[in-house]
Structure 1
Amino acid sequence: MDAAAWNALFPVSTQVTAYPGTRQDPGVETWTRSTAWTLSGTPVVLVHGHAGGIALSHVDPVVEEGLCPRSNA
């Protein structure tokens, strides 16, 4: 998924499972803190608890019935 498609579907503060290292490592339950953008050809997003961008291929949105993204307030 490219950055524009991600941004159209998932607003900032979307809850996600992120895999900052490899997908074989345990995922981190967190939420996005930026819109996605393309960095050197790779779509990435910032998440709380991690200093750099994480490739969208290593970020899974948490989709559960009744789950809403965190409020920016």
Structure 2
Amino acid sequence: MTADEWNALYPVGTRVVAYPGVRPDNPLAVGVRRAKAEGRFVDPRDVDLARSLDTTTRSRAWTLGHGSPVVAVDGYAGGICLTHVYPGGRCPTCRRTFEDCTCGGAR
């Protein structure tokens, strides 16, 4: 989704779930969850790789110089890539929850 497409759909103040680091489907986050579930050692710095923020947008989306569209959210300094931001916690393409998305829009 481009910054212009985002801005046409979601005004500043939209409630979102944002992942400033990696998303839960990232192989690193999956591996950490698996290791933790199996009782293996997990470095404390890695426990919260896929930390989510239940927050609201505080800016319109914009495009960085290298082409990635981002938006600023409350509780985080800087922009978060739109591929890591979900309005109402739902995929912007199919509107399913992130966990149920199979269309690829949440990837």
State the TM-score, normalizing by the size of structure 2. 0.57
> Which runs of 5 or more residues in structure 1 are unaligned?
64-73
Instruction: Give the letter aligned to residue 53 of structure 2.
Output: V
The CA distance in 2 between the partners of 1:50 and 1:39, in whole Å, is 17
2:28 aligned residue: none
More helix by share: 2
The CA distance in 2 between the partners of 1:39 and 1:26, in whole Å, is 23
The CA distance in 2 between the partners of 1:13 and 1:35, in whole Å, is 9
Which residue of 48, 68, 73 corresponds with 2:74? 48
Q: Following superposition, which runs of at least 4 residues in structure 1 exceed 2 angstroms of deviation?
A: none
Aligned CA-pair RMSD: 1.5
Instruction: Give the letter aligned to residue 74 of structure 2.
Output: H
Q: Is the 2:63–2:69 Cα contact (8 Å) retained in structure 1?
A: yes
2:8 aligned residue: 8
How many aligned residue pairs are there?
Answer: 64
1:38 aligned residue: 63
Q: Is the 2:61–2:70 Cα contact (8 Å) retained in structure 1?
A: yes
Which residue of 59, 72, 86 corresponds with 1:60? 86
More strand by share: 1
> Which runs of 5 or more residues in structure 2 are unaligned?
25-49, 90-107
Computing the radius of gyration from Cα coordinates, the structure with the larger value is 2
Query: Between the two proteins, what is the percent identity of the paired residues?
Result: 59
State the TM-score, normalizing by the size of structure 1. 0.83
